[in-house]
Amino acid sequence: MPTFLIVFFLLSPSIVFAQTTRFDVRDLGFRNVVTFFADAPLEATVGFTSALAGWLEFDPEALENGMKGEFEVDTRTFSTTVEAKTEYIREKLLKASDHPTATFRWEKLVSPTQGKLTDGEPVLCLVEGWMVLRGVRTKQNLSLEMTYFKESAATHQRLPGNLLKVASKFEIAPGDFKITPPGEVASRFPSKVRVEANFVGSDRTAPATPPLAVAPE
């Protein structure tokens, strides 16, 4: 290639060389958590699981270039404060034996609030993707609060590498996933469920982890 063309490509402001970083979300300590809060007419139910794994990929210096990611939760590990209700939610509503995982995958970043990640400063993003629960696939938008932490002695207390902490709050409609409690218990389950996910990923490949199903219940 002629020298003047090489110089043109290197200096042209329209040429962007993205540095994509992958953050793996896997923690042997099971400190990542997904919780749900179902506020029904007659009672409220709170449940949680720490069986969460996944990844995110994007350029920390240019969020506008896009983002993709995928997460998986083991529905067999969701627990509540009442053993009978835990069993009912797992087997009757989520049908966890037949559909042991719930997944969310996105490939579209709708809007970041700023162009790059800065150490210790939260960034708000909206992503668009698909959630699969009980074998039913539904479009879902998620808001994410992402905070980047440069590797330090403090971050080593959690995981090696540079870390990304993500918090997300959203609502799902059980009916969208064909979850319809029978009439005799319908008043104990709402039409909307609030879900929160809080997890940390690292840009350094984590050690091999056991399957999600071995997470403590």
Q: What is the pLDDT of residues 36-60, one digit of tens each?
A: 999 998 899 999 999 999 999 999 9
Cα 51 to chain centroid distance, Å, stands at 12
Between 3.40.47.10, 3.50.50.60, 3.40.50.300, 2.40.128.110, what CATH number should domain 23-214 receive?
Answer: 2.40.128.110
- Note the pTM of the prediction, 2 decimals: 0.82
The full set of domain ranges for the chain reads: 23-214
Integer CA distances (angstroms), 178 to 61, 84, 98, 141, 170, in order = 41, 22, 14, 19, 19
The string of pLDDT tens digits covering residues 92-149 is: 999 999 999 999 999 888 987 778 899 999 999 999 999 999 999 999 999 999 999 9
Instruction: Record the tokens describing residue 79, joined without a space.
Output: 């627990």
